[in-house]
A and B are shown apart, each in its own frame.
Chain A
Amino acid sequence: MAENTLSIKIGGQAGKGIKSAGQMLAKLATRSGYGIYTYTEFPSVIRGGHNVTQVIIGEGEVNAPTMGCDLLIALDRETFDRHVNEVAENGVLIFDENNSLDTQKVKNSLNLCPIPLNSLAIEAKDVELLENTVAIGAATAILGGDISVLENLLNSEFENKGNELVEANKKAARLGYDFAKSKYPTLIKNILGKKADPEKQMLLNGCEAIGLGAIAGGIQFASIYPMSPISNILHVLAKYQERYQFVFKQPEDEISAINMAIGASYAGARSLTSTSGGGFALMSEGYGLAGITETPVVIIEGMRPGPATGLPTWSGQGDLQFVLHAHQGEFPRIVLAAGDIRESFFLTMKAFNLAEKYQTPVVVLIDKNICDGDQSYPIFDISNYNLDRGKITREKNDSYKRYALSEDGVSTRSFPGFGNFFITNSDEHDEEGFSSEDSNNAISQQKKRMQKLASCENNDMEKPELFGPETADVTVVSWGSNKGSILTAIKTFPNVNFLHITWMNPFPTGYVSDVLKRAKYIIDVECNYTGQLANLIAEKTGIIIPDRFLKIDGRPVFPEEITDKLSSILKS
């Protein structure tokens, strides 16, 4: 393995089970006791087009994709043409021996491993669709994996689809495994051998983590209109709603999504909605409605490159300033950004508590790389989580005032049906909620609302994590999914540290300022054109970061790119 990780790429036409092949390899690894990270690239079509999934396997936690790979499984010629040059020295190429590939361009150090994928698939069950499973069987052999782990996996993956399919897949895997094992004995490496008593690991993507985080965070209602890259959140919530006694509703559009969530929250349900940037544009009016009506709502915003349709199935970080500023006027908004799948889970849980505690919208930003990538983790521990519903009264009180002024800016909520009269009003309103255009009232209500942000800053805001030494030659500042690649890259740079920011509003100005003031050299890493985090830092701290490594092609920041950048900074 290169630097203790092994990278496998599987590519082929969309619809040929590329993603599920990646899943199988990933689970083979996690169930054998290894950590994994997967990265998938696909176009916005269901069939046709080029799909590629990358599985990175290592000891312990694996946090990032890599540019190159050690094993390439090319299910079609396009995969070969596009990716063969990415294979490392002494790497392996598995491909169908009947695909007449231009092996002239293969470098000498590459080990060719042609396999009759198609004919073995047909031998297994007369269908070409099993080519991916044959290839996984062959890869298992080459990596020294345990075929019984793979067979158990196929049992559990396909049991819902009938015994016939289970057996066909197992046969296909076995045929690929046996063929590779007998034909290429010298290529076999002991990389994926099953460990004794491997720790049970979860394998999940960011959308799944958010769905689970919402369930753990006490969700009662979700309304989500499908959109890449967050649709998998609604798939998880729809599936588990009955078991956990909450309701998922698919509305007619994102405007309805946020307004339904606001209505449900007003009536007393912990509510969530989710969308991508385009849908958030439609939600903008509801965002401010939640602000002025002081209605809690959690909004998960999954970023992809815009504007408009943009690059719908690729990743971006272009919506930070958008969610910080969307909607007319001013209202307290809490904006958090997750840096990986685990953070997505725990920030979603936290967002529910913050939303109800401060009775205001809480946005959790994630980027597509987090939504769609899988990573393995030990089982999440939720034992420290306590549901916080904030100030709520269930008593009837004739002098109840929904928007009573208070020191921390938070008033007590009541819900319709509890006997209390109150108006929840999008017009500026007095303490009971009646529309009011009175000057003093307008000032006191707006101050009360904005006070909530100061209260949140004082009571709940967390300082960013600083990885690496307290003082360093270079300080990397970043957010979102770049975290994993930066952490991977700085392992080999003892004099580099990394400031990972998750709280965007309120903003940890003091701490960020302290870290950056003592930094000798700062590099900002983001996936947008303008350096939106760097601009936010400048706005809050006055510190300008001139050196910005910005990616705008929808691809992740790779550890290799950070390594190159750091090397060139340190050289100069």
Chain B
Amino acid sequence: MTKLTDLTTKCSPNWCPGCGNLAIWGAFKNAAVQKGWDNSNTAIVAGIGCHGHIINFTRITSFEGLHGRSIPVATGIKIANHKLNVFAFTGDGDCLGEGGNHFIHACRRNHNINIIIHDNAIYGLTTGQTSPTSPHGYKSKSTPQGNPDYPLNPLALAIASGATFVARGYAGDIQGTADLIVKASEHQGVSILDILQPCVTFNKELNHTFYQKNSYKLDQNHDVKNKEIAFKKALEWGEKQIPLGVFYETDEPAYESQLPQIANNPLIDNNPERKNLTDLFDEFT
């Protein structure tokens, strides 16, 4: 049993008032209480960016790594101990800019990890430059004349790269986001959850009002098994045209389930002591 108070630390959140990260943090803690995640069964990894501060405010064993590298660290943790629930928190710059290569390969490998993208379409921690998901024409400190680049679509990229669970949430909807985090964790295989997260300080366009006005929940008839429909839905964007929910989910063997070495117990429980290697050495004679 995990209680909300079990998850607090000596540090108070230092995100800006109204920051979408506060809501994602709340949603994650709600999901943790619901599922009983604690220091006996869960590890979280973060990259660098505003999202990364989450490790200081959440009392679950964590690893804050380098900018863009939360996914490979999470992958290593999962292979070493696949009994752990592993969450990789990352941002749009962290995951899709600096760590883009790791993202597409994590999608195709189906490690049973949960990748949660705090997507605010801006570099917040470095005080407001254009990110890989900033809209075309968007004005920021790095694009004062308007962004000449076109944004990357994380959901479409995930589906095309072979991810087996692809979903989008909106941070302001804390309960909806918590539900999606739970669903992502229950999926056996890689889960990509892109969370639209307003940066109230530096991104004046993609704010709470914008998302509240323009997002809608995928209806119950949406066929999550249909990749083509999922892809089509992933391409939707615009006025009243931002779908939220699970876009795609399919069952494929998770990476860890394919390794005979860890079929019986986690890798860290396999005894590393190998005193007798006579047979092995004989093969080299």
Interface residues of A (CB under 8 A from B): 30, 200-204, 208, 212, 215-216, 218-221, 223, 240-242, 244-247, 249, 251-253, 255-257, 259-271, 285-286, 289, 293, 379-380, 382-383, 387, 415-427, 433-435
B268 at the A/B interface (Cβ < 8 Å)?
A: yes
Residues of A within 8 A of B272 (CB): 218-220, 246, 270, 387
Q: Is the CB of A256 within 8 A of B79?
A: no
Q: What residue in chain A is nearest B64 (Cβ atoms)?
A: A425
Q: By CB atoms of chain A within 10 A, which of B55, B83, B105, B260 has the most? A: B55
Residue in A247, A271, A427 whose CB lies within 8 Å of B259:
A247
A-B contact pairs, 24 of them (CB 8 A): A202-B284, A204-B284, A212-B284, A216-B277, A246-B272, A255-B101, A257-B72, A261-B76, A263-B72, A263-B73, A263-B74, A263-B78, A263-B80, A265-B76, A266-B73, A266-B76, A289-B66, A379-B285, A417-B39, A418-B40, A420-B39, A423-B55, A423-B56, A435-B64
The answer, yes or no, to whether B10 is at the interface (CB within 8 Å) is yes
Q: Is B204 an interface residue (CB 8 A)?
A: no
A416-B73 in contact (CB<8A): no
Name the contact of B284 in the complex, choosing from A203, A241, A266, A382 (C-beta under 8 A).
A203
Could you tell me the distance in whole angstroms from the C-beta of A202 to the nearest C-beta in chain B? 5
Ranked 8 nearest A-B pairs via Cβ:
A263-B76, A218-B272, A259-B72, A267-B80, A416-B43, A263-B73, A264-B76, A260-B76
CB-nearest residue of chain B relative to A386? B273
Q: Verify if B184 is at the interface (C-beta below 8 Å from A).
A: no
Complex: how many Å from CA A275 to CA B282?
Answer: 27
B33 to A: closest C-beta gap in Å: 16
What chain B residues lie within 8 Å of A201 (beta carbons)?
285
Cα of A246 to Cα of B270 in the assembled complex, Å: 8
B41-64 residues with Cβ-Cβ distance < 8 A to A are 41-43, 45, 48, 53, 55-56, 59-64
Cβ-defined contact, A260 with B281, below 8 A = no
In addition to A256-B105, A262-B73, 12 A-B residue pairs with Cβ atoms within 8 Å of each other are: A202-B285, A208-B284, A215-B277, A218-B274, A259-B66, A269-B76, A286-B69, A293-B63, A423-B55, A423-B64, A424-B63, A425-B63
Binding site for A on B (CB under 8 A): 9-11, 39-43, 45, 48, 53, 55-56, 59-66, 69, 71-81, 83-84, 101-102, 105, 259-262, 267-268, 270-275, 277-278, 280-282, 284-285
A425 and B66 CA atoms in complex are apart in Å by 9
Supposing A417-B81, A424-B64, A435-B56 touch, asked if A252 and B102 sit within 8 A by C-beta, the answer is yes
A267 touches B64 (CB 8 A): no
From known contacts A204-B284, A420-B61, infer whether A221 and B73 are also in contact, taking CB-CB under 8 Å: no
**A residues in contact with B10, CB < 8 Å:** 434
Tell whether, in the assembled complex, residue B64 and residue A427 are in contact, meaning their CB atoms are under 8 Å apart: yes
Bound: A269/B48 CA distance, A: 24
Q: Give chain A residues whose Cβ lies under 8 Å from the Cβ of B261.
A: 241-242, 245-247
Alpha-carbon distance between A251 and B280 when the two chains are bound, in angstroms: 26
Q: Which residues of chain A have C-beta atoms less than 8 A from B63's C-beta?
A: 263, 266, 293, 423-425
Which residues of the partner chain B approach A212 to less than 8 Å between Cβ atoms?
Answer: 277, 280-281, 284
CB proximity of A110 to chain B, nearest CB, Å: 35
User: What is the CA–CA distance of A418 and B275 in the complex, to the nearest angstrom?
Assistant: 27
Given A220-B267, A268-B80, A268-B268; A244-B262 close (CB under 8 Å): no
Given the contacts A264-B76, A382-B275, A247 and B81 also touching, CB distance less than 8 Å: no
Given contacts A259-B65, A265-B76, A435-B56, contact A220 B268 (CB under 8 A): yes
Q: Are A423 and B62 in contact (CB under 8 A)?
A: yes
Q: Which of A247, A379, A380, A416 has the most CB of B within 10 A?
A: A416
Q: How far is B250's CA from A207's CA once the two chains are assembled, in angstroms?
A: 41
Q: List the B side residues contacting A267 at CB < 8 Å.
A: 43, 76-77, 80-81, 84, 268
Report the minimum CB–CB distance from B285 to chain A (whole Å): 5
In the complex, A552 Cα to B45 Cα: how many Å?
44
CA distance A212 to B277 in the complex (A): 9
Greatest chain A CB density within 10 A among B56, B63, B273 is at B63
Among B41, B43, B280, the residue within 8 A (CB) of A215 is: B280
Q: With A269-B80, A418-B40, A422-B61 in contact, do A260 and B72 touch (Cβ < 8 Å)?
A: yes
- Residues of A within 8 Å of B56, CB to CB, are 423, 434-435
Q: How far is the CA of A218 from the CA of B66 in the complex (A)?
A: 28
A-side contacts of B280, CB under 8 Å: 212, 215, 240
Question: What separation, in Å, do the CA atoms of A270 and B275 have in the docked complex?
Answer: 16
A355 to B102 alpha-carbon distance, docked (Å): 26
B102 touches A256 (CB 8 A): yes
For B41, give the chain A residue with the smallest CB separation. Answer: A417
Q: In the complex, how many angstroms separate the beta carbon of B204 from the nearest chain A beta carbon?
A: 28
Whole-angstrom distance between the alpha carbons of A133 and B137 in the complex?
68
Chain A residues with CB under 8 Å of B73's CB are: 259-260, 262-263, 266
| Complexed CA–CA distance, A247 and B76 (Å) | 10
A267 to B45, CA, bound (A): 12
In the bound complex, how far is the Cα of B61 from the Cα of A266, in angstroms?
11
The answer on a CB contact under 8 Å between A419 and B39 is yes
The CA-CA distance from A271 to B9 in the complex, in Å, is 31
CB-nearest residue of chain B relative to A239?
B283
Give min CB distance, A313 to chain B, whole Å: 23
Please name the residue on chain B nearest to A402 by beta carbon.
B61
What separation, in Å, do the CA atoms of A31 and B181 have in the docked complex?
62
Say yes or no: A203 contacts B40, CB within 8 Å: no
Contact residue among B267, B281, B282 (Cβ-Cβ distance under 8 Å from A246): B267
Task: Give A264 to B272 CA distance when docked, in angstroms.
Answer: 14
Complex interface: chain A residues within 8 A of B271 (CB):
245
> Nearest-CB distance from B2 to chain A (Å)?
12
Interface contact B77-A266, CB-CB below 8 Å? yes
Contacts of B270 in A (CB 8 A): 220, 245-246
Residues in A whose Cβ lies below 8 Å from that of B284: 202-204, 208, 212
Most chain A beta carbons < 10 A, residue from B78, B79, B84 = B79
Shortest CB distance A221–B (Å): 6
B60 A421 Cβ-Cβ under 8 A: yes
CA distance A146 to B101 in the complex (A): 55
- Give the residues in chain A near B9, CB-CB below 8 Å: 434
CB within 8 Å for A260 and B79 given contacts A247-B261, A380-B281, A417-B43:
yes
CB distance from B166 to the nearest CB of A (A): 20
Q: Would you give the shortest CB distance from B125 to chain A, in whole angstroms? A: 12
Alpha-carbon separation in the docked complex, A417 to B259 (Å)? 21
- Residue contact B77 to A424, C-beta cutoff 8 Å: no
Contacts of B48 in A (CB 8 A): 426
A489 to B281, CA, bound (A): 30
**How many whole Å from B271's CB to the nearest CB in chain A?**
8
Note all chain B residues with C-beta closer than 8 A to A416: 39, 42-43, 61, 77, 81, 84
Residue pair A220, B76 in contact (C-beta under 8 Å)? no
Residue of B with least CB distance to A27: B285
Q: Chain B residue with minimal CB distance to A218?
A: B272
Query: Are A215 and B66 also in contact (CB < 8 A) when A252-B102, A267-B84, A380-B281 are?
Result: no
